[in-house]
Structure formats: C-alpha cells, structure tokens
Amino acid sequence: MNRSEVLTFGRRIGTGLAFVIFPLVFIFAFAVHPGLLNPRLLGPKELILRGRNNDLLQFAHALVTLNTALLVVIALHFMRLLDRGPHGRPRITTGICLSSRSRRASAALTTGAICNQS
C-alpha cells in the first residue's frame, strides 16, 4: 500500500470509530448522573454538592469535553459527503444552495413586512 491508500484507510477507520464511540460516550456520561430517573431542578448549592467528591461524574464530564474532537471528525465526514457526488464527482455544496434560497426567502419576508406596515 502506498501512502495515499494508508491515509484513506486510516481516515475511514477513524471516521467509523468516531460514529461508534461518540454516542457511547454520551450514553455513559448521562448514565452516571445521580437521580437521572427522578429529574428535578437543582439550585447552585445542590449542584455543587452533587458534583463534589463524585469522581465518576467528573470523569464523565471530562469525556464529554474530549468527545468534541470526535464531533469534528463526524462534521468533516459530512462536509466531504456534501462536496462530492455519488461517483466522486464534485458538485455544488448544499450550503450554497440553501444560503441563496434563504436570502430570497428573507428578502420576500422583509418586503412583505414592509408592505404590511403601510
């Protein structure tokens, strides 16, 4: 395998792992919260007491922070999918089409709002 194939293979494996690990980290992080099945509003004092000396909860929050890197990998994958057609041919990105449509809709709504004021 040449260097390009190794990079492509590594990118595919990394993206696949990101899609698997990302939701698992969130499931774990939510599961370690005390009182998850009995939700209620907590004041600042109760929040501090709940988090103090709860190493597993602190570890779960640190994992969620690190999980942001996996979200970047997933976002890059989706961007690559939007920029390439089904057969690898470049196509216009969805964002460009949506932005031009939203500008037209915004202009139409603004014009309608101006017309309705008089």
Q: Tell me the residue range of the domain where 115 lies.
A: 94-118
Indicate whether 66 and 112 sit together in one domain. no
Pair 105, 76 in one domain: no
Domain count of the chain?
2
Return the pLDDT at 118: 40
What is the reported pLDDT for 38? 87
Same domain for 79 and 98? no
Tens-of-pLDDT digits for all 118 residues of the chain? Answer: 788 888 889 888 988 888 899 899 999 999 998 888 888 898 999 888 888 989 999 999 999 999 888 888 888 888 888 777 666 555 555 555 555 555 555 555 444 444 444 4
- pTM surpassing 0.95? no
- Considering the domain architecture, whether residues 14 and 71 belong to the same structural domain is answered as yes
> What pLDDT score was predicted for residue 92?
52
Do both 69 and 116 map to the same domain? no
Euclidean distance between CA atoms 22 and 68, whole angstroms: 9
The predicted structure's pLDDT at residue 109: 47
What is the pLDDT, as a whole number, of residue 116?
40
Q: 52-78 burial by CB neighbour count: b if 16+ within 10 A, else e? A: eeeeebeebeebeeebeebeebeeebe
Report phi then psi at 90, rounded to 5.
-65, 145
- Tell me the backbone φ, ψ of residue 34, rounded to 5 degrees: -70, 140
Residues 46 and 66 in one domain: yes
